[in-house]
Amino acid sequence: MFKLVLVNLFRNKIRTFLTMASVTVALFLFCTLGGVLDTLQESIKVGSESRLVVRNKISLVQWIPMAYRQRIQSVPGVKLVAVQNWFGGQDPNDKRGFFAQFAVDEPYMAIYGKDFEIVQHSDAQAGVAVPEGVDPKLAAFYLERTACVVGQKLLVKKGWKIGQTITIAGTIFPGDWPMTIRAVYHAKNKSFGEEVLFFHYKYLSEKGLGGQEPVGTYVLELSDPSQASRVIQAIDSQFENAAPATLTETEQAFSAGFVSMYGNVPFVLRVIGLAIVFSILLIAANTMMTAIRERTSEFGVLKTLGFSDGAVFRMVVTEAAIITLGGGLLGALGAKFLVDGSAMTSGFLPPMSVYWSTVITGIIIAVVIGAISGLIPALQASRLRIVDALRRVD
């Protein structure tokens, strides 16, 4: 009986191929869109719960003074405090090619030490002690004020080399900023991002701010993550009536803030995903119906030979399910393997993720579509009376 299904599948190869291909394409798209939502989810996970971010309460764009650093450091439960400043520069040769640059101070590399590994580095000219908890391979970076560390993907994309001096044009901080690449990192954690450039905060404050020291955000490492809410309270209440007031949140909540900026984009993607599913349903149902209509007399013969109504019903449903399952597997897995890990164009997001749950949802949808689109023709075929089926001559 299964053999009969197979024979039927192969008798009109073009049709089977076209239907399967349209299901493949639709499921690929469905899973890719689902992947965008997954990526948004993933970017919320960027932060660990044990790290906090302090920013100006008004908005991220407003600065907070360096003077807060000592006061934050002295809050019980805070292990390390690092400065992280958005630089917003551009590659003068490629102004549209966005990538992130951060000016960071010494403890930063220690706080994020577990999230990346150094894959290439310049050797330090002199013996220099790196801050505690920092990879000694970063010695050359710490020795030189205009040094920078870049992500491996960014290095490859821009065609830069280790030891090369590059120029970044400032938009927030005017002027040209020469920097020398002293280390290249590989992100161990996908959410850390591999297209980022880090350089010394001192360079920024001395050259760009004339010695002034305003800070974009402070990143804190806690000695005990379970104390997070107490530390948040302690910091924010300390600066509540100061100008400027601060807003402290876990790194996770901080990243989630970026995701919420996309507004109802996720909703729009969901609607599009549903429209796609509905349109493949139509295509598949249409094909199955024409396929069954053509074979009316055959079903008559089958029934004459003694196949029961139920058997005919199952045969048609199986045929439909195989077509859509095949297409579904191809499309969903295709999305998983082609899209997963590829870089997004819009800067703030980590590389694309497609969760297995999305892939499996896609495959289930495909099977359900197969079943539904096979249902009506299968019912028609199973209810067919032999006399009617064989009477038709065309």
Partner 1 sequence: MAIPLAYNLRSVLNRPMSTATTALGIGLTVAIYIGALALAAGFKASLVSTGDPDNILLLRKGADSEISSGISLEHSNIIKANPAVAVGPDGRPRASTEMVIVVNKPRLGQTGSSNVMLRGVDAAAADLRGGLTIVAGRMFTPGTDEVIVAKRIAGRFANCNVGDKLRFEQRDFTVVGQFTASGSAFESEIWGDANVLMPALNRTGFYQTLVFRPKDPKQFAQIKKELESDPRLQVDVKHEREFYADQSQAFTTLITVVGTFITVIMAIGALFGAANTMYATIGARTREIATLLVLGFTPFAVMLSFMMESVLLALIGGLVGCILSLPMNGITSSTTNFQSFSEMAFQFKITPPIMVQALVFSALLGVIGGFFPALKAARQTLSRSLRA
Q: Is 214 in the site for partner 1 (CB under 8 A)?
A: no
Site string for partner 1, 63-92 (x = CB under 8 A): -------------------------x-x--
Q: Is 169 in the site for partner 1 (CB under 8 A)?
A: yes
Q: Judge whether 283 and 22 are in contact, CB under 8 Å.
A: yes
Cα-flanking dihedrals φ and ψ of residue 82, to 5°?
-130, 150
Q: Which of 109, 215, 259, 325 binds partner 1 (CB under 8 A)?
A: 259
Q: Which of 241, 387, 392, 393 binds partner 1 (CB under 8 A)?
A: 241
Instruction: In whole angstroms, give the CA distance from residue 374 to residue 100.
Output: 51
Instruction: In whole angstroms, give the CA distance from residue 43 to residue 212.
Output: 33
Pinpoint the alpha helices (H) of 45-160.
68-73, 107-111, 139-143, 152-158
Q: Which of 167, 290, 304, 308 binds partner 1 (CB under 8 A)?
A: 290
Q: Is 263 in the site for partner 1 (CB under 8 A)?
A: yes
Q: Which of 11, 62, 113, 391 binds partner 1 (CB under 8 A)?
A: 62
- CA within 13 Å, CB half, 180: 12
Q: Is 13 in the site for partner 1 (CB under 8 A)?
A: no
Which residues on neighbouring strands pair with residue 222, listed in sequence order? 78
Q: Compute the least distance from the CB of residue 288 to partner 1, in Å.
A: 11
Cα-flanking dihedrals φ and ψ of residue 118, to 5°?
-85, 125
- The strand pair at 116-121 and 147-151 is best described as unpaired
Q: Is 237 in the site for partner 1 (CB under 8 A)?
A: no
Q: Which of 11, 49, 58, 224 binds partner 1 (CB under 8 A)?
A: 58
Taking the least distance from each CB to partner 1, the nearer of 290 and 308 is 290
Residues 6 or more apart from 121 whose CB is under 8 A from it? 137, 138, 140, 141, 162, 182, 183, 184
The residue ranges that bind partner 1 (CB under 8 A) are: 14-15, 18-19, 21-22, 25-26, 28-29, 33, 57-62, 88, 90, 96, 98, 169-172, 174-175, 241, 243-245, 247, 256-257, 259-265, 268, 272, 275-276, 278-280, 282-283, 285-287, 289-290, 294, 345-348
